[in-house]
Amino acid sequence: MAERISAADFDEKVLRSQIPVAADFYSDSCIPCKRLSPVISRLEEEFSGRVKFVKINVNFDSELAEQYDVMAAPTVVFFRDGNETGRTRGAVTQETLTGAIEELLF
pLDDT tens-digit readout, 49-59: 999 999 999 99
30 is catalytic: yes
Per-residue pLDDT of 2-28, as tens digits, reads 999 999 999 999 999 999 999 999 999
42-79 exposure pattern, b = at least 16 Cβ within 10 A, e = fewer: ebbeebeeebbbbbbbbeebeebbeebebeebbbbbbb
Cα four-point dihedral sign 54, 22, 106, 92: positive
pTM given for the model: 0.94
Terminal-residue alpha carbon distance, the chain: 24
Catalytic residue among 30, 73, 76, 104: 30
Neighbour count for residue 39 (Cβ, 10 Å): 20
33 is catalytic: yes
Candidates 3.40.50.11540, 1.10.3720.10, 3.40.30.10, 3.30.10.20; CATH matching 3-105:
3.40.30.10
